[in-house]
Amino acid sequence: MRITAKAKEETRERITESARKLFTDKGFDETTTRDIASEAGIATGTLFNYYPSKEALAMSLVAASLDAGRLDFEARRRGDESLEEDLISHIMTGLRRLQPHRGYVGAVMETAMSPFAKTGLCDDADRTREEHLERVTDLTASHGLGGAPPFVVMHLYWTLYLGVLAFWSRDASDKQEETLAVLDHSLRLFVASLKTGHTKVEVNHVT
Amino acid sequence: MSPEIGELVAALPDGFDEEKAPDEALQTLLSSLANKPVPVGRLTRFWALGSLKAKIALAYMAWWLRSGYVSGDKRAATLNETHLKSAIKLLGTMSYLRGSIMKIGQTLANYPDVVPDEFVDTLSALHFEAPPMHFSLLREQVRNELGRDPEEIFDEFETKAFAAASLGQVHRARLKTGQEVAVKIQYPNIARTIRDDFKNFNALLLPMRLTKDWDNFRAQGEDIFETLELETDYVNEAECLKAAREAFNEDDGVVVPEVFEEFSSGRVLTMEFIEGKHVDEFMATNPPQEVRDRHGHQIFMAISRLYYGLKIVYADPHPGNFYFMEDGRLGLIDFGCCYRFTDETWKYCANVERASHGPIDSEAMDAALLYSVDLTDEAQMGEERLGLLRDYCTWMWEPMQEDAPFDFGDPEYLRRGMQLYGDMIRKRYTRSQPINTWLARSFVGARAMAYRLRAKFNLKAILDTETSVK
Ligand SMILES: Nc1ncnc2c1ncn2[C@@H]1O[C@H](COP(=O)(O)OP(=O)(O)OP(=O)(O)O)[C@@H](O)[C@H]1O
């Protein structure tokens, strides 16, 4: 029997909804692919036709949230923001949408989005990273900082971004306000490095 | 999580010479700080120490530290030099604390024992500096705190701050009801940073615990810390504002801004906007004597009302907190720094009252003085010190001796007070009950304000009225 594209899309949605529910109720670590499949009313084998792993499934939830965040960002933009302001909003709108996934976002990032992760491992992760970095490149260009920032600078950005995400996922401060301070600091560092054209990072020797 | 002390010390600024005496080392540190570029590192965040106010703050802090052991014996003192140096070095790194170092500086600038001749000017110098929180960051902070963006909450919100607060900044806005408001917003996470820094700081000071005045010294330090903690909590400030606002009626001519709780939290404070002039601006308009007298009267009346009526010490009477309004009223803002009396401290102050009302009762004064320095008999205090404190009290109480206007604009009067302070510094009399810090801040600050207004008014009459109201 052939399944229509529509039916396929519905199944996919059922899976992501079930995963979202279980991750929230039970926690990411405690949830198995079997749990998700049974919640969605499908065989575990069928689930793997859609998502190769639990992490990939989580990543697609994360990607969907980040997509929504990006729309929020565009909607809230006035147009007279400084680069620092744009960048902080760009990230924060995403974090706010990610809030329901905060508990496991670290695990997902680690496998799918870290600079060490293989590309092609997870389409959602690759797409998310590309879109995010593209927007950042546009933003820097629109603030008169020339064409595409050098590779090294974008790498610094991505590292800072993931660092902030990791920090945020474990931030024990009230309303994660410490993340806000860390983010502000990170972005100032990034923008400063863009403006000077090179990155000079003092190393603190801690013994 | 606070870093290990070892890490902290390792990350301290260069140019700090271990061999030099603390005073000298401090000088070196200060000059190296002034020329240091913005550092990038784990323990450094926002570099604010190039500024004069931060240096002043450092200097006070260092002085305060040093005073903690001078009375100890020589050997202990030598031992402590090292730790003192470490503590001073730590202060250097605390510069990333944009706001709280300022806050510490302010607190210490008002310290009763730490008062240079430029006292009045210094108080002003520690205020008014444009803060660097941009709108997007601030919007996120507001959203964290109030759940919505400022654009959604307010009818209009000025994206640029109109004033700096010590731990954040103040923006003008209009509520949907049309009410003009001032919105004070705290920099994210500053409260936690203060807490961590004090932990580190205390750990460094620990070896000083063998010195004679340690307990007293520590009590004062903790008192400062507790106040800092309170000041970071705008809910506490909102409560004080509310209580204070209710303490005045229309005839008093004193306005305390209304708080809009719906739009306030621990880190955001939305209150009625007070339209008026600060003292310099006000004096520049050449106001007539009777207007200045009335404002001087209002200031002391307000502070006394809070004191006797609410048992609150309005402990931060710096010029930025008084607004002289077009219609002749006095606007009183900033209730972040209010000391609330405990029963015990209130009893002590009642003793002082007895001594200070009417002709000075020297026995009651001496009893109050002993208590105030946390000692039990006069022999411990020493003749010279007792004499100095008596002179200081007499100076403080002089304006209330007669039932007649007192000229607070008399430079001679202020100068004498400052001289007494200076002497106390030079003699390093630092032992004191924490309450004295707040009382002195309040009373001396108010006198300095009255001086700047060149005001004449009957302080005794004010006190007689306010003590009978209760
Ligand atoms: N209700 C208000 N109406 C008008 N201006 C205000 C109001 N509240 C605060 N401001 C302005 O903002 C400045 C800082 O506010 P406030 O004194 O409350 O902050 P703070 O954190 O206590 O700072 P500091 O310790 O430096 O006084 C004031 O000096 C004043 O200029």
Among B107, B122, B184, name the best residue to mutate to test ligand 1's pocket (greatest count of ligand atoms within 8 A of Cβ).
B184
Closest partner residue to A180 among B6, B7, B140, by Cβ?
B140
Dist. CA B113–CA B385, nearest whole Å: 13
Asked if residue A153 has pLDDT above 50, the reply is yes
Instruction: Count how many pairs of residues, chain A against chain B, have C-beta atoms within 8 Å.
Output: 70
**Angle formed by the axes of helices A177-196 and B190-205, nearest 10°:** 90
- The residue with greater pLDDT, A80 or B9, is A80
Please give the torsion angle defined by the CA atoms of residues B381, B383, B384 and B385, in that order, rounded to the nearest 10 degrees: 30
Of all atoms in ligand 1, which is nearest to the CA of residue B163? 12
Give CA B339 to chain center in angstroms: 11
Cβ atoms of residues B234 and B269 within 8 Å:
yes
User: How close is the nearest chain B Cα to the Cα of A95, in Å?
Assistant: 11
Top-confidence range, A2-11, A38-47, B21-30, B111-120: A38-47
Give the 3-state secondary structure of residue B271: strand
Asked if residue B78 has pLDDT above 60, the reply is no
What mean pLDDT value characterizes chain A?
83
What's the gap in Å between B267 CA and the centre of ligand 1? 14
- Does the model's ipTM exceed the 0.90 cut? no
pLDDT band at B327 (very low <50, low <70, confident <90, very high): very high
Asked if residue B218 has pLDDT above 80, the reply is no
The predicted structure's pLDDT at residue B346: 85
pLDDT band at B192 (very low <50, low <70, confident <90, very high): confident
Dist. CA B295–CA B409, nearest whole Å: 13
| Residues of B engaging A, defined by a Cβ cutoff of 8 Å | 6-7, 10-11, 39-43, 45-46, 134-137, 139-141, 143-145, 149, 187-190, 192-193, 267
Taking CB atoms and an 8 Å limit, are A175 and B145 in contact across chains? yes
What mean pLDDT value characterizes chain B?
72
Mutate to test the interface with A, among B47, B137, B186 (most CBs of A within 10 A): B137
Overall average pLDDT of the A32-60 stretch: 91
Over the stretch B342-390, which tens digit does the pLDDT of each residue have? 888 888 777 777 666 667 777 777 877 777 776 666 667 778 878 888 8
The predicted structure's pLDDT at residue B293: 97
- The residue with greater pLDDT, B15 or B270, is B270
The predicted structure's pLDDT at residue B437: 64
The predicted structure's pLDDT at residue B198: 64
Taking CB atoms and an 8 Å limit, are B135 and A81 in contact across chains? yes
pLDDT band at B124 (very low <50, low <70, confident <90, very high): very low
| Residues of A engaging B, defined by a Cβ cutoff of 8 Å | 76, 81-82, 84-86, 88-89, 92, 96, 173, 175-178, 180-181, 184-185, 189, 200-207
Taking CB atoms and an 8 Å limit, are B188 and A204 in contact across chains? no
Over the stretch A175-184, which tens digit does the pLDDT of each residue have? 888 888 878 8
Dist. CA B106–CA B126, nearest whole Å: 6
Asked if residue B7 has pLDDT above 70, the reply is no
Strands (E), B123-261: 156-157, 163-165, 168-174, 180-186, 254-255
Residue B368 makes CB contacts below 8 A (sequence gap 6+) with B348, B351, B352, B355, B393
